[in-house]
Amino acid sequence: MKRFDILSQLIKCLSKILDEIEGHTSSHAQGVANSSISFADEFGFTLKTQRSLYYAALLHDIGETTLPHSILYKNGPLLPVERKKIESHSVVGYKIVKNIPSMTEVANLIRHHHESWDGTGYPDQLMMGEFTTAKQILAICDLNDTLSRERPYRPKRTNEEIENILNDSKGTRFQPNMVEKFIKFKKNTNIKKSSLEKVNEIKDSGQELSDFEAQAYLLAISVVFSNLIGEKIPFLATHPSKVALLSVKLGETIGMNKNELFEMKIAAFLGDIGILAQDEQIYMKKDNLNPEDIETIKNHTLIGERATSEITSLPNVSRIIRNYHESWDGSGYPDGIKGGKIPLASRILRIADTYVALQHDRPYRKGKQRTEITESINTYLKNIADPSLVNILMEIMKN
């Protein structure tokens, strides 16, 4: 399997979350990526740089997943402190992506996609030559695609309005000939067709990985992405890794094969990824949740399923995530299925998720001691968990 395919699948997974956050019916990130890789062809970049630009375009707003819901969805003008928070997303994105193996160049592009030619951009106030051609390409394609879409605070712009805004940015946001070249490119290029050809070209030139290397790379990126959940909701910082550890132990005990264990492990790390698209304040409430809050929380598994459906090399992960809040007696969600109809990996994740959650503090309760949970495990897991798996959990906890 090619490194490109692994990265593309997981990046598209996260892009789906960004689309949920930004409310796009079609992908802003993919639109920026298509424009960027097509426009880059005008500059004679190496395939390596084109590949980095493509990845950076897909992930340029990854830092937004950690921003407060109240700021992202604000209809009115932002306060200075809120503006500062929004502007932090490029640095947050940089810090996240630089932890993915071989993605340093991509991380730097993400960090600087809001810089300006005249030095008034952020976060580093780059000027002229420091704001490299590749960074300008990402920035102008991002601006163009953003203007073409509706936002909570404004309607989408017409092509004429976009061209006027771009022309006004000559010498300030962008190098003058960059704007002229981009406007000409837009008028003369079938971007969808051109980008498809370029994606196939950079894909074919990518590094081939062994099965072991591919799994290691998938896991490394999944762990990085799962860390976003802790960035947004601190009490969940260690939750995915602990659920993964306990789930694999349960799976090994009942004799699951290596592929089944690996898919379940990835599902454990990405199981709560749908939370990134939701209002974090719901999860921080100390009082009882209202019915609307409960329905919102239930929806996180469906968001997670839609996002992880992009991981086509692990086709069962999205189904595992969809159903890991189902209950043995049929009282779970989203489908209300029960008993053996619930996928085995989902049943295991349900137990592991509940057990780990009970151990740790939540805004509305203190965490319980391990001995306290073990003594009352049947009370906590009664009706919701596969009884045979509960017995195995009890044995694991004894040892």
Q: For 48-78, write each residue's pLDDT tens digit.
A: 999 999 999 999 999 988 888 888 888 778 8
From the candidate CATH numbers 2.60.120.10, 1.10.3210.10, 3.40.50.360, 1.25.50.10, the one assigned to the domain spanning 211-398? 1.10.3210.10
- Quick one: pLDDT at residue 25? 45
Does residue 328 register a pLDDT over 90? Answer: yes
Quote the CA–CA distance of 351 and 296 in Å, as a whole number.
Answer: 22
Q: Could you tell me the two tokens for 377?
A: 């495990």
Q: Could you tell me the two tokens for 372?
A: 């306290």
Mean pLDDT of 108-112: 98
pLDDT band at 347 (very low <50, low <70, confident <90, very high): very high
- Quick one: pLDDT at residue 24? 52
25 vs 8, higher pLDDT: 8
Q: Decide: helix, strand or coil at residue 316.
A: coil
- Read off the amino acid at residue 36: S
Quote the CA–CA distance of 19 and 23 in Å, as a whole number.
Answer: 6
Give the tens place of pLDDT for each residue, 249-278: 999 999 999 999 999 999 999 999 999 999
3-204 CATH: 1.10.3210.10
Domain boundaries, the chain: 3-204, 211-398
Q: Could you tell me the two tokens for 271?
A: 């199981």
Same fold, 3-204 and 211-398: yes
- Read off the amino acid at residue 314: L
- Quick one: pLDDT at residue 88? 94
Residue 212's Cβ-side half-sphere holds a number of Cα atoms within 13 Å equal to: 0
Quote the CA–CA distance of 52 and 31 in Å, as a whole number.
Answer: 16
- Quick one: pLDDT at residue 26? 52
Mean pLDDT of 120-131: 95
- Quick one: pLDDT at residue 205? 67
Handedness of CA 63, 69, 71, 75 (dihedral sign): positive
Beta bridge partners of 362: 365
Does residue 206 register a pLDDT over 70? Answer: no
- Read off the amino acid at residue 54: Y
- Read off the amino acid at residue 16: K
Does residue 152 register a pLDDT over 80? Answer: no
Residue 272 near residue 321 (C-beta atoms within 8 A): no
State the residue for tokens 């960004």.
18
Q: Cis peptide leading into 234, omega within 30 of 0?
A: no
- In residues, how long is the chain? 399
Does residue 114 register a pLDDT over 60? Answer: yes
- Read off the amino acid at residue 354: T
Handedness of CA 17, 20, 26, 30 (dihedral sign): negative
- Quick one: pLDDT at residue 23? 64
Q: How many degrees, rounded to 5, is the angle at CA 301 between CA 297 and CA 302?
A: 105
Mean pLDDT of 359-369: 84
Start-to-end Cα distance in the chain? 39
Of 8-12, 40-44, 112-116, the least confident = 8-12
Mean pLDDT of 178-191: 94
Q: Decide: helix, strand or coil at residue 331.
A: coil
Quote the CA–CA distance of 249 and 329 in Å, as a whole number.
Answer: 24
Mean pLDDT in the chain?
91
E strand or H helix that includes residue 247: helix 239-253
Q: How far is CA 18 from the centre of its chain?
A: 7
Mean pLDDT of 324-337: 96
Quote the CA–CA distance of 350 and 95 in Å, as a whole number.
Answer: 31
CB atoms within 10 A of CB 144: 22
Q: Decide: helix, strand or coil at residue 262.
A: helix
Give the tens place of pLDDT for each residue, 272-308: 999 999 999 999 998 888 999 999 999 999 999 999 9
The whole model's pTM is what?
0.86
CB atoms within 10 A of CB 147: 18
- Quick one: pLDDT at residue 389? 95
Quote the CA–CA distance of 147 and 150 in Å, as a whole number.
Answer: 8
Of 13-22, 87-96, 130-139, 203-212, the least confident = 203-212
- Quick one: pLDDT at residue 173? 96
Q: How far is CA 344 from the centre of its chain?
A: 25
Mean pLDDT of 225-254: 95
- Quick one: pLDDT at residue 45? 92
Q: Please return the burial class of 303, using the count of CB atoms within 10 Å of its CB with bins 0-12, 13-18 and 19+.
A: buried
208 vs 357, higher pLDDT: 357
Quote the CA–CA distance of 19 and 378 in Å, as a whole number.
Answer: 40
Does residue 145 register a pLDDT over 70? Answer: yes
Quote the CA–CA distance of 299 and 242 in Å, as a whole number.
Answer: 23
Q: How far is CA 247 from the centre of its chain?
A: 22
Mean pLDDT of 25-47: 88
pLDDT band at 379 (very low <50, low <70, confident <90, very high): confident
Does residue 376 register a pLDDT over 50? Answer: yes
